Structure 1
Amino acid sequence: MVAQGIAEALQAYTGLTPGAAATILALMLATYLLVSSLFVAPASPAAGAAPPKPPQQQEEKKEGETEEEEPMPFVYPDPVEVGEVTLEQLRAYDGKDPAKQILIAIRGQVYDVSRGRLFYGPQGPYSLFAGRDATRALALMSFDPNDLTGDLDGLSPDDLEVLQDWEEKFKERYPRVGHLACQDAAVSGRDAAPLHHEEGDA
């Protein structure tokens, strides 16, 4: 009598026959059990016991084959002092030879930017500056190859301020490894008006 009352109430509220309601309930329970089993942590191995290896690896060890070694991460060359270099010599350090440093000159100073290979390496967004004097290009925020020079003529005070910001960033992030050989003063930027640095900026 009670079961019949429950069945009638179930059908009145849900519109389902008792058989259909039982089937849906069983499917929901099975789904819950299946999904919850996916999130259960595996049983931890006994103390001191090594975790079992997959069968394929066990077979390889039995046959005496060596496991495939993971590739070594790329190791950047240590910064090496280059001393005084010409613009022509600087061009050899453009990142195309992985055994060489990546060098960039700013206001006559040469910086090793090898750690920034993702930016200055051959596929990087700033690869144009690698192995070059990027003074004017950085001041103008220019990617024009004609601006890859140390010539400061015609730069505005705002341009010089942008250049100073770039120079400070390079000093903080990358080691200085040399300087450009003396050339025409307008090109090297050495005799240009010095940028004013606030106390404690360096």
Structure 2
Amino acid sequence: MAAQGIAEAVQAYTGLSPAAAVTILALMLATYLLVSSLFVAPDAAPPKPPPQRKEEEQQQQQQEEAGAFVPYPDPVQVGEITLEQLAAYDGKDPAKPILIAIRGQVYDVTRGRLFYGPQGPYSLFAGRDATRALALMSFDPIDLTGDLDGLGPDELEVLQDWEDKFKERYPTVGHLASENAADGNHGGAA
């Protein structure tokens, strides 16, 4: 009697037969279990590496000691930098950090290599002063300047939002040289 009431309620609520509803529920549960198994619990121990021969172990240790691979090197302070010097940090040389200037401040965006590196969607900004371009949300190379002349309150608010995001995500490693950063107007594209 109760089973029949449940079956009628399932059909009325879902519009499906009880067998179809149970099948869908089972598939949803199986999908959930499959997807959740892809994630490791935070307190689970990492898998042990396969045993290595002594020689391979020594080579690996030497490479680690020599600093052979560091995914995100510590930011290097560049101090005062000119637009010409900044251009060398455009991501084309993997040994150098990727730098972007906004309102005279220079940010190390190397961690965002997928975005700012040579093949990234924002590679145009790498090694440049992106102040005006960010304020205008522009990908036009002519806007790659620190010139704020003619920008309205809305554009300046957009620029402030971008600047806040950069300050939050990326370390400040220097500032543009004073001849390029007077009063926040660094005039001219690099």
Q: Do they fold alike, i.e. is TM over 0.5?
A: yes
Match of residue 89 from structure 1: 85
The ranges of structure 1 where at least 4 consecutive aligned residues each deviate by more than 4 angstroms after the TM superposition are: 64-67
Per chain length, whose mean CA-contact separation is higher, i.e. which structure has more relative contact order (CA < 8 Å, sep 6+)?
2
1:183 counterpart SS class: helix
2:146 to 150, 173, 194: 150
Q: Percent identity?
A: 78
Distance 1:191 1:175, change over 3 A: closer
Total equivalences in the alignment = 128
> Unmatched 5+ residue regions in structure 2?
1-49, 61-67, 186-190
Shift of 1:191: 4.8
Any conservation in 2 of the 1:83–1:179 contact (CA below 8 Å)?
Answer: yes
Shift of 1:189: 6.0
Shift of 1:101: 0.7
Match of residue 177 from structure 1: 173
> What CA RMSD, in Å, does the superposition of the two structures yield over aligned residues?
2.7
Larger CA Rg, structure 1 vs 2: 1
Q: What TM-score do you get using the length of structure 1 for normalisation?
A: 0.57
1:162 to 145, 150, 158: 158
> Unmatched 5+ residue regions in structure 1?
1-52, 54-60, 193-202
Residue correspondence of structure 1 range 1-202 to structure 2 within 5 A: 75-183=71-179, 188=181, 190-191=183-184
Match of residue 14 from structure 2: none
Any conservation in 2 of the 1:137–1:148 contact (CA below 8 Å)?
Answer: yes
1:178 counterpart SS class: strand
Letter of the structure 2 residue corresponding to residue 131 of structure 1 = G
Separation in 2 of the partners of 1:108 and 1:189?
9
2:179 counterpart SS class: coil
Q: What TM-score do you get using the length of structure 2 for normalisation?
A: 0.60
Separation in 1 of the partners of 2:140 and 2:90?
17
Separation in 2 of the partners of 1:85 and 1:161?
26
Letter of the structure 1 residue corresponding to residue 128 of structure 2 = R
